[in-house]
A and B are shown apart, each in its own frame.
Chain A
């Protein structure tokens, strides 16, 4: 896996993981990523939405305009069945990748 690819995959993995439990809208996603990473990871509008639309095009997530009482309507993204399978595969891949990195870095430190 080349560097670009894992970066891409990790972005996908973050989004898929965050919409697994319930549908979320774009701003919420960007905030969650920023908060949970302690500000270490940030998605800007210019990269977040192209990513969301790509995932949607692949049929992994599905966006829907939802109107909640009194508020402006927002586009909520939810995980599709296909997205769920992709998420499971990517999680396993990510774990293998992280363990590999850990082993490498542990050896260095030892």
Chain B
């Protein structure tokens, strides 16, 4: 407490309570105890107590009939001359410093006393919060929403992007990608010949494994079932550091071709299918029609290969039969300690020539063709591989939610400012009584902290609920979904956020009111007057910031809405997808060996399904549009010339008659396949419009052209052109595709039949359980051992392909909605408060002849200025920030003027509405009442 302020107190205090003739007791007491040089707070306390006593005494004496002079003399006599009080106090006050009993007074030294004073502040703060339940409730909820939402999104960011993978020393794990610039392939999958070379000759890896996803049919135990599986080399589990929870993991002997067939089950599948029966280890199950012995159960936290993985089977690669090529596997490796990815890359590069020399090329290829591919290393951290590009979405959401939190903070800071405004006198008195600025600042911060603490407690609860909701609604392609949850890191983050919120919210009133202007507060004596410009300005700034932040979020959600609309306008290449039921079916060789019989089974299923009531058509194909099963291979046209090494890649599809009709994909020219084409292995093909245009400029020219699948294949005639289908999702261009019959002779060598494919059915009952039950009966009547899998409508695949966009849209729209609400409430609060402060002024204006409309304009204009400032700042910020959205946008630019203008107008409109309500109240003020109000 500065000396100069204290010297003002006696005047202020005595003037307020006593008449002009009252003796200056404060001076008398202060003078006597001044030599003690007590702590200012303590001195003020003693003075206050003694002065009260003297005043009481004086008044009593006067009221009992003494003259003022007599009373004065008698009261002064209480002080007993000059030295007695000082001597008496000196003995007492030289003892240990006293506990601070005055709120806001400096406690003085001693840890115990400090704690005591903190405790006192806490109690005081809690009392203050209890005294204003409305304020406390609103502030707590607003902040809790902000903190909870931030914590929830952070838990997703943490679970997906930040947390290490759930394997020991996961930072050593790499995905063993390669690259082939000679073939223009950026990410080349590893292949068996690479695996064998690396396994035997590398210097950088502790261990490595090769794997590939394979779906499997499980029969023999009740309902046939189609499940997700992985074929793995035994090194995969060793590399990951995963042990068997029961039984044993795969060993190198399991990898040997010809060794007994074994299988390991995942924990989830073991619980689901076998009820967690421990005796199942050692028993056999029928996988794809052949017996396999269950050698072990994987631990519960094994999450490699996705949450639906049911079992893993040894990948028995035969080194003696391995040729160059076959880049269709995935690989991981564990780096030796201290080895960097660059060093390991160099090691792989060193081995590339070795591997090309060690294995023979497949028939029709030469080693030189592989050399020309210029295969090179492309190792990358496994985590990067798992997480992929989802980081963009998550960081955008995190940024959005932080903006919401900032707006919430600004709101609460504003409320606290208003409250502090009302407490200026109290603060001034406490300051006058010797509370240091530090102590008052600490007290104010503490109130912010208590609020933040309450809010973060509630926020954590909200976050927990929100995380569950998020995980439920998150796009299924979000990696590591099962690793998202509330854990220590999230709680710690929430605490840090709360601390940040405390400082942000608590420091506003501190900066404004704990400063030097306290003397002024006391002098003003709480007279209501139009508030100072400075104080209004800080609240106006906060509102401007809120409006600006809200604008940024609203523009972002606006852009996502435009993106969504653009996506919805794209013709996917199929019609009414919600009326198309699809499911997968597998006809393994163990069930039906002969390819022609396979087609017969498929035809029978389609015919019987087609006879079901309401079904207008049914089709069969290797894959469903947008289901993620992509097969690209070369397509050569007879009337084109190709360079020797050129690989003209196009999308491959295998379809049975009726597929296009079922999808609703139009045949632009020509006609569909017939069943005769299938059984006769007729040399025919259908191409997509895009492929037709690429090769022959016009679909009309395509029919009758000759194409083939390789340089050695027989020529096939194009019999039709079908409309383009956005197979990779509506936001990606439709690939140029070739549709082959489900039974073909490629290259005249092998007969290819589509055994594992999808049935699609068009009809209004698609998606209903009763319909699928009938379908199951039909399939079972054809062959009771065929498992059905992936039962979805075509609409599901379309929605899934847009899931990331719609997820981002929903999240940003939620954030934008919260921001709008908070921003508008903030604006309303400031205008409303300003009106209440200006009642007197408005009364004067009305008396001087101002019309209601003038006053309306005055108040709304004040809000309009704030809004305009906010919108201007917000537009600039949005221009700078929306480019982070670019990768998520489709059909709209990050600086789309339409969106920017529309959002600005809407925001301004809503803001003016928020100002209009208090303005109307102001306009209705009765001038006389307003003037009397003083």
Q: Which of B47-55, B219-227, B846-854 lies at the interface?
A: B47-55
A65 within 8 A of B: yes
Enumerate chain B residues within 8 angstroms of A51, measured Cβ to Cβ. Answer: 88
Q: Which of B72-80, B268-276, B922-930 lies at the interface?
A: B72-80
Residue of A with least CB distance to B75: A45
| Contact assessment for A53 and B52 in the assembled complex, using a CB-CB cutoff below 8 Å | no
Say how far A100's CB is from chain B's closest CB, in angstroms: 29
| C-alpha spacing A82/B98, complex, angstroms | 17
| Contact assessment for B80 and A44 in the assembled complex, using a CB-CB cutoff below 8 Å | yes
10 contacts between A and B (CB under 8 A): A27-B53, A30-B53, A44-B79, A45-B85, A46-B80, A49-B46, A49-B50, A50-B92, A54-B92, A65-B102
B126 within 8 A of A: no
| Contact assessment for B84 and A47 in the assembled complex, using a CB-CB cutoff below 8 Å | yes
| C-alpha spacing A45/B45, complex, angstroms | 15
Say how far B127's CB is from chain A's closest CB, in angstroms: 12
**Interface residue range, chain B:** 20 to 34
With A51-B88, A63-B101, A65-B101 known, 20 other A-B pairs at CB within 8 A are A26-B52, A26-B53, A27-B56, A27-B57, A44-B77, A44-B78, A44-B80, A46-B78, A46-B79, A46-B84, A47-B84, A47-B88, A49-B49, A49-B50, A49-B85, A49-B88, A50-B88, A53-B93, A56-B98, A65-B102
B89 within 8 A of A: yes
| Contact assessment for B54 and A45 in the assembled complex, using a CB-CB cutoff below 8 Å | yes
B279 within 8 A of A: no
Enumerate chain B residues within 8 angstroms of A57, measured Cβ to Cβ. Answer: 92, 95-96, 98
Enumerate chain A residues within 8 angstroms of B56, measured Cβ to Cβ. Answer: 27
Residue of B with least CB distance to A74: B52
Q: Tell me which of A26, A27, A46, A57 has the highest count of chain B C-beta atoms within 10 A of its own C-beta.
A: A46
Enumerate chain B residues within 8 angstroms of A47, measured Cβ to Cβ. Answer: 80, 84, 88
Enumerate chain B residues within 8 angstroms of A84, measured Cβ to Cβ. Answer: none
Mask: chain A, 32-66; 1 = CB below 8 Å from B; 0 = not: 00000000000011111111011011000001110
| C-alpha spacing A48/B91, complex, angstroms | 14
Enumerate chain B residues within 8 angstroms of A63, measured Cβ to Cβ. Answer: 101
Which residues of A approach B to under 8 Å, CB–CB?
26-27, 30, 44-51, 53-54, 56-57, 63-65, 72, 74-75
| C-alpha spacing A49/B52, complex, angstroms | 12
Say how far A92's CB is from chain B's closest CB, in angstroms: 26
| C-alpha spacing A5/B36, complex, angstroms | 25
- Please judge, given known A-B contacts A46-B85, A49-B89, whether A72 and B52 are in contact too, CB under 8 Å: yes
| Chain B interface, DSSP helix/strand/loop, else mixed | helix
| Contact assessment for B49 and A75 in the assembled complex, using a CB-CB cutoff below 8 Å | yes
| C-alpha spacing A53/B90, complex, angstroms | 11
| C-alpha spacing A30/B54, complex, angstroms | 11
Enumerate chain A residues within 8 angstroms of B46, measured Cβ to Cβ. Answer: 49, 53
| Contact assessment for B54 and A53 in the assembled complex, using a CB-CB cutoff below 8 Å | no
| C-alpha spacing A51/B89, complex, angstroms | 8
Enumerate chain B residues within 8 angstroms of A75, measured Cβ to Cβ. Answer: 45, 49, 101
| Contact assessment for B95 and A50 in the assembled complex, using a CB-CB cutoff below 8 Å | no
Interface residues in B5-36 by Cβ distance below 8 A to A read 17
Say how far A86's CB is from chain B's closest CB, in angstroms: 17
Enumerate chain A residues within 8 angstroms of B57, measured Cβ to Cβ. Answer: 27
Say how far B81's CB is from chain A's closest CB, in angstroms: 8
| Contact assessment for B80 and A53 in the assembled complex, using a CB-CB cutoff below 8 Å | no
| C-alpha spacing A26/B98, complex, angstroms | 18
Interface residues in B90-125 by Cβ distance below 8 A to A read 91-93, 95-96, 98, 101-103
Enumerate chain A residues within 8 angstroms of B53, measured Cβ to Cβ. Answer: 26-27, 30, 45, 48-49
Q: Which 5 A-B pairs have the closest CB atoms?
A: A50-B88, A46-B80, A45-B78, A46-B85, A46-B84
Enumerate chain A residues within 8 angstroms of B98, measured Cβ to Cβ. Answer: 53, 56-57
Enumerate chain A residues within 8 angstroms of B93, measured Cβ to Cβ. Answer: 53
Mask: chain B, 445-461; 1 = CB below 8 Å from A; 0 = not: 00000000000000000
| C-alpha spacing A56/B42, complex, angstroms | 14
| C-alpha spacing A27/B60, complex, angstroms | 11
Enumerate chain B residues within 8 angstroms of A49, measured Cβ to Cβ. Answer: 46, 49-50, 53, 85, 88-89
| Contact assessment for A50 and B89 in the assembled complex, using a CB-CB cutoff below 8 Å | yes
| Contact assessment for B54 and A54 in the assembled complex, using a CB-CB cutoff below 8 Å | no
Enumerate chain B residues within 8 angstroms of A56, measured Cβ to Cβ. Answer: 98
Q: Tell me which of A30, A51, A54, A57 has the highest count of chain B C-beta atoms within 10 A of its own C-beta.
A: A57
Say how far B542's CB is from chain A's closest CB, in angstroms: 33
| C-alpha spacing A44/B17, complex, angstroms | 23
Enumerate chain B residues within 8 angstroms of A74, measured Cβ to Cβ. Answer: 52
Enumerate chain A residues within 8 angstroms of B92, measured Cβ to Cβ. Answer: 50, 53-54, 57
| C-alpha spacing A64/B103, complex, angstroms | 10
Residue of B with least CB distance to A42: B78
Say how far B245's CB is from chain A's closest CB, in angstroms: 61
Say how far A63's CB is from chain B's closest CB, in angstroms: 6
| C-alpha spacing A27/B75, complex, angstroms | 12
Residue of A with least CB distance to B81: A46
| C-alpha spacing A51/B91, complex, angstroms | 10
| C-alpha spacing A74/B92, complex, angstroms | 21
Say how far A28's CB is from chain B's closest CB, in angstroms: 9
Enumerate chain B residues within 8 angstroms of A26, measured Cβ to Cβ. Answer: 49, 52-53
Say how far A15's CB is from chain B's closest CB, in angstroms: 14
Residue of B with least CB distance to A29: B53
| C-alpha spacing A12/B46, complex, angstroms | 20
Enumerate chain B residues within 8 angstroms of A65, measured Cβ to Cβ. Answer: 101-103
Query: In the complex, which of the residues A27, A50, A64, A72 contacts B85, with contact meaning CB atoms closer than 8 Å?
Result: A50
Say how far A24's CB is from chain B's closest CB, in angstroms: 12
- Please judge, given known A-B contacts A44-B77, A46-B84, A64-B101, whether A54 and B91 are in contact too, CB under 8 Å: yes
